[in-house]
Amino acid sequence: MVERSRAREKQVRAEFRLLGPVELRLDRRAVDLGPAKQRCVLAALLWSSGQPVTVETLLGRVWGEPAPARKRDSLYSYVTRLRSVLGPAGVPLTRTAAGYLAEVDPALVDLCRYRCLVRRARSTGMDPRSRAGLLHAALSLWYGKPLGGLPGDWAQRASAGLVQQHVALLAEWAALEMSHGTPTGVIEVLADARVSYPLAEPLVEQLMLALRGTGQASEALGLYRRYRAELTAELGLEPSRRLRELELLLLRGDVRPVGQGGGAEPAPPRSTPPPRPVPYGAGGAGQWLW
């Protein structure tokens, strides 16, 4: 019983972070996780938290498909080192018939908490204000580019998928906040997000609506013009029909607060992304949001 209590105390002090640079923190202090490939092995295990991960899957995630057979020895070496690193966190790294398993409490992994909050926000019967609160809690776990610092195609794809979801959730949160009459609170959040994702159209749309809802129609039109210029310069594309229709509303002088625009009010953001690629991140090159 005493040993179990000590193990729980160790787990309470541990935090695994994937929603930014990959980290393990004990008592809020970062632990050295070793070289990039070793951190990638840990991330690949935590990505499937609670489920064993086969050797073949780990090889593919860390070295790509098809992974060279000689990399098995490297994988085994990284696993051995990770066992030593995870010991003080009270997290056994075991091998089962189905693969390797990091026996970590999901509450200690930020990605698991993020996924749990999103699932709760999606539950049937959730009122808009509660849903907005859960999405805000999920979004607050974000602290940089997810899986930051990891090499390989799997890490890049996984990171891009999380960024896509993050932007969609941010736009959804903003729409929910405005649905119960609080557009002012989303303006600063969306403006900050635009710095990281300048060509993410869902954020532009919601920021335009928030500005319109606070009587700042001219600022909303200025935002549209800047976005259109950026999109044309980067990709040679025009804004979507939805955004062009919102511009026309503003040009016609329809500046009623959000929720008082009648049938002309644009629909909330879609749950599925638009069918064209949009680069995320201010740097842009080779980084695609959709």
Same domain membership, residue 213 and residue 160: yes
Domain range for 45? 2-108
**Domain edge (last residue) among 79, 108, 137:** 108
Give the whole-angstrom CA distance, residue 12 versus residue 135. 24
Tokens 């928030």 appear where? Answer: 210
In a domain, 121, yes or no: no
The residues, ordered by sequence, that sit 6+ positions from 173 with a Cβ below 8 Å of its Cβ are 132, 135, 136, 139, 186
Q: Quote the pLDDT of residue 70.
A: 87
| Residue 6 within any structural domain of the chain | yes
Residue 194 maps to a domain:
yes
Are 101 and 156 found together in one domain? no
Q: CA-CA distance, 15 to 156, in Å (whole number)?
A: 23
* pLDDT one-digit tens code per residue, 168-204: 999 999 999 998 887 888 999 999 999 999 999 999 9
Domain total of the chain:
2
pLDDT of 6 reads 53
Note every long-range contact of 211-215, with CB atoms under 8 Å and residues 24 or more positions apart, other chains counting.
211/187, 212/246, 212/249, 212/250, 212/255, 212/258, 213/178, 213/183, 213/257, 213/258, 213/259, 214/183, 214/184, 214/187, 214/257, 215/255, 215/257
Residues 66 and 163 in one domain: no
CATH classification of the domain holding 250: 1.25.40.10
Same domain for 240 and 159: yes
36 plus 97 within the same structural domain: yes
253 and 178 part of one domain: yes
- Please report whether residue 97 resides in a domain: yes
pLDDT for the residue 282: 34
Residue 46 lies in a domain: yes
User: What pTM was estimated for this model as a whole?
Assistant: 0.82
Rounded Cα distance between 42 and 33, Å, is 9
Give the tens place of pLDDT for each residue, 100-142: 999 999 999 999 999 999 999 999 888 999 999 999 999 999 9
Tell me, what CATH number does 6's domain have? 1.10.10.10
Closest to 204 (Cα-Cα) out of 177, 226, 185, 182:
226
Would 247 be classed as within a structural domain? yes
Domain co-membership, 23 together with 87: yes
Q: What span, in angstroms and rounded, lies between the C-alpha atoms of 30 and 23?
A: 7
Residues 6 and 86 occupy one common structural domain: yes
- 127 domain residue, yes or no: no
On whether residue 285 sits in a domain, the answer given is: no
